[in-house]
Amino acid sequence: MKFYKYCASGNDFIITNADEKKDRSALAKELCNRYKGIGADGFIAILPHEKYDFEWEFYNNDGSRASMCGNGSRAVAHFAHHINKIQNKMAFLTGAGIIKAEVNNNIVEVSLGEVKNVENAFDEFGKTWQICDTGVPHLVHFCENLDDFDLRLCKKMREKYNANVNFAQIIDENTLKVRTFERGVEDETQACGTGMGACFYLAFLNKLVKNEVKIFPKSGEEVGFKFENEELFFKGKVRYCFEANYNFS
């Protein structure tokens, strides 16, 4: 199988073209294994679509399906333009709906659309949380110091609410830092696009930041977010690492 390896803000992905829809969970789990396979946070299969530029199937590291992935959507837009020669402005179908993207060299901006299911803040385990859906559900806790990030607490909250868990630190009205525990990986990842989007949106909703900010995930790579015309936009650099053939035993 020919595959392409991509990295976006610290998340890495295996991308391949496919002809038909089918369950690729076992394949994703094999390919994403960092010891026996290729190694990645996620696996993406690109499928043709009659109405949109393409459709995707997105799988987490553990083989589970995910409706959306912010960094994955930027990686796949870069792939579609540079490898599949689709125009630089595109729209593609995900489990969370239609994603619009624009590619300029190695910088990719996507619209994550409207934020959904915003709930009131609540207290649990001595911390204040708020939940919203930026393509997948996210719990957000605003903290004074990101060293407060607690893997065991994140696992408890992830299991109870079936959501990704984020700790966010507001540096100033234009800057945030974020750490994320992701479903499907079941651990902290170097970055999470939809997680950073959830942190930014809730900070903006609570009038803690302006409508356009820069965010630094654990990877340290700067990305940009803005909220405009009721849409959440996510922009940053994408790196096409390499392509190769995977041999099945």
Structure tokens at 39: 């190694």
Active-site choice (7, 32, 132, 192): 192
Is 182 marked as binding a ligand? yes
Is 152 marked as binding a ligand? no
How many residues does the structure list for the chain?
249
> Does the active-site annotation cover 7?
no
Active-site choice (7, 69, 132, 199): 69
Instruction: Tell me the C-alpha distance between 164 and 162, whole Å.
Output: 7
Cβ proximity of 30 and 238 under 8 Å: no
Is 60 marked as binding a ligand? yes
Query: In sequence order, what are the beta bridge partners of 109?
Result: 102, 235
Is 193 marked as binding a ligand? yes
Is 88 marked as binding a ligand? no
> Does the active-site annotation cover 69?
yes
Is 211 marked as binding a ligand? no
152 φ/ψ angles, rounded to the nearest 5 degrees: -65, -40
Instruction: Tell me the C-alpha distance between 9 and 31, whole Å.
Output: 20
Instruction: Tell me the C-alpha distance between 222 and 69, whole Å.
Output: 18
Is 183 marked as binding a ligand? yes
Residue 59, SS3? strand
Q: List binding-site positions for substrate.
A: 11, 60, 70-71, 164, 182-183, 193-194
Active site residues: 69, 192
Q: Which residues are annotated as a binding site?
A: 11, 60, 70-71, 164, 182-183, 193-194
